[in-house]
Chain A
């Protein structure tokens, strides 16, 4: 057997009381695609950050191609042939592809020679690995998929033999993701080693050779991908059997509750980020909006929920036009609840106690105190009740919001919004960064709300989530609704719409 590309031996890392990595042993074979899967907070990112020199392990040893090494910084990591493609790209947007590639390896005061060298080598890399990018294109003008390719090129140009990709498909359409996987397979066939961090089971099955499962800081299982199954991996991740498919009966939709007509929203530069969008949501149905992140879904949610005003168009909620209302509190009083896409920046206030976060937006609810007074006991009691009903752990209203796990934070928000007994629930990315166990719970609650005759507008970038929850699916691309499909639409069909290819238009 050949020497493994990377060996991590007894890696241990603590952040205060949090034991992020517990005696982790991991061997990554040369020339393989190795998946690391685990729930949020399982320690995947910490482990890779240690390998790439962002953190230092408290204990343990790293071997690269059999040689013990000390990795103190990302420069050390790169010099040992380790490259990383981050979830959030580290690119300078106004620079060209070439300028980005030589960033950090300019070599001298004049960049001319480095640019010439990079140009030649980029051409070579493009031929070898199907990584075709125009070297003179401005990064900001490139689509996300190509930007990611530039990140991979950057790593390869710096001589990476081992490439770490952290959640690479979050921003990609299914077709772009497929292309990425083809690239990764080519890289492997050329002898490179790829480490793929993800929480998507399907990707693991599609592309990896080996997979390691992490749970609570430990590597709990190692499989050869061909010998395992999605169910087995999910069970290893969560530590118990999980129901991956949601059971639901067909919808029995009632009257139209939300009627969005020709809504357009422009950003500061007058670009229409939401472009002439029309749709309806009826009582007792879940309408899902699919699409790659950044195609106007967030802005559409902001317009509907009163965080911002539409530039033109009408939004009828319970028969009244609310398009001109830019007061989220007013819409809440009218019966519209909103679980925001970004729970850390909107959904709760991380420095507040759980109880204080649990009344965010409902601080004027009459049962929380008369007049200007906020009745603390009432707030605590309401929070206790909601925590019990939604199984928030730990059920401590005084604990700081930041100290709950992602799933429990999301449960606090859901409890608050569903607890307000809304007529319409607008919900963005309900399970982003939420562990599998909680996903199951959250999905059940959403369907229960629908079965109670409420209207639900769901936005998610997870196609599986959209397909398993929605009664009708709309796909957004570049601010427009590309088409509507039923819940039985195929992934390929939706994928085309997400990429902006519309049969209706063709």
Chain B
């Protein structure tokens, strides 16, 4: 074992656990400062969502979004790229998710039975969400590969551009004439039923939640990313470029090409989040539906060690934090929504940005034990 290397269980188990604990300790201090009981707050945050089926459904619904954005960040990581534009790529993906349903869904439904036309429309929506997100990821990839503009700068700037573009598109293009709310009309022809609605079809009574079969798309995407990275030639090349650019050129790999392809895949995965959220939860194109999921994806990818299995688990944890945060703001008047955002932010800070803080200490401890 070399210096700085830790046993796998420490790396994927102990370190995240320590980071999480410290995040909760600091969050607890913040709760204490505003005069509330931190133990009670954290108890509500963690236990309430887990004690009901509807809580679980909500956790998994949030996690589904985070799986997509986590995978988006992870794929780019493997090529040595830090894509912090997941937020914008997921947002613009909404154009791909909504447009086919609004434009051709009706025409298809007119000539085909609903049980045929809806899956076809949804499939087109799925491909289009990926494609639009991919285009939005490819562009900074192109700027990086061919123009040397740093991807961190370009992706974050694109987030702002996206935000304006989407306000314009939804307000000026998608909003039906005469409608007050800034949103598109309902996308009835590409409607993904949620768990409760599906349950009702088979006579089961399930709690209300936005949980929908988009989850299976997320799990399939997670498997697909794993297969791509570790079982295909392209994935090998992506990882080679990320690990060692010089060795990649020596191996006849064209890094510029790999950077553009990787960013397109990364953006496409973020775009799939729009498919899940717009068609499975909102059922119309609305403003700001991404709600920070793109940034949570960074923490999810870091915590999940950029491995799909880790990402699914980390996404569940963040799903719990989101749902727990909502429950907490209901249960305690003094801990409002903003307070919950602070707590979530602390977790992201310790899991993501300060993720490596305790490594050297653990490394020293384990070097002694060896």
Contact = CB atoms under 8 A, between A and B. Distances in A.
Interface string A396-407: 000000110000
Interface stretch (A121-129, A132-140, A183-191, A343-351): A343-351
Contacts of A262: none
Contacts of B157: none
A145 interface: no
Q: Report, as a range, how many residues of chain B touch the other chain.
A: 20 to 34
Contacts of A331: 252
Nearest to B253: A329
Contacts of B17: none
A403 B235 CA distance: 23
A349 B240 contact: yes
A360 B2 CA distance: 24
Nearest to B254: A327
A18 B251 contact: no
Interface string B235-251: 11101100110110111
A364 interface: yes
B3 interface: yes
A88 to B, nearest CB: 18
Contacts of A73: none
Nearest to A331: B252
A449 to B, nearest CB: 20
Interface stretch (A151-159, A371-379, A436-444, A492-500): A371-379
Interface in A368-388: 369, 372-374, 376
Contacts of B2: 15-16, 18, 402-403
Given A17-B1, A360-B251, A363-B251, A345 B246 contact: yes
B236 A374 contact: yes
Contacts of B221: none
Nearest to B367: A16
Given A345-B244, A349-B243, A356 B236 contact: yes
Interface residues of A, number: 37
Contacts of B250: 305, 307, 328, 338, 340, 346-347, 360-361
| Most interface-central of A307, A349, A351, A402 (chain B CB within 10 A) | A349
A361 B254 CA distance: 12
Contacts of A16: 1-3, 5, 366-367, 370
A279 interface: no
Contacts of A348: 247
B243 A364 contact: no
Contacts of B127: none
Contacts of B367: 14-16
A376 B231 contact: yes
B52 interface: no
A346 B234 CA distance: 19
A328 B252 contact: yes
10 contacts: A15-B3, A16-B3, A307-B250, A328-B249, A329-B251, A330-B252, A346-B247, A361-B252, A369-B233, A373-B232
Given A15-B367, A364-B233, 11 more contacts: A15-B2, A16-B370, A17-B1, A307-B249, A328-B249, A338-B250, A350-B244, A352-B243, A360-B251, A372-B234, A374-B231
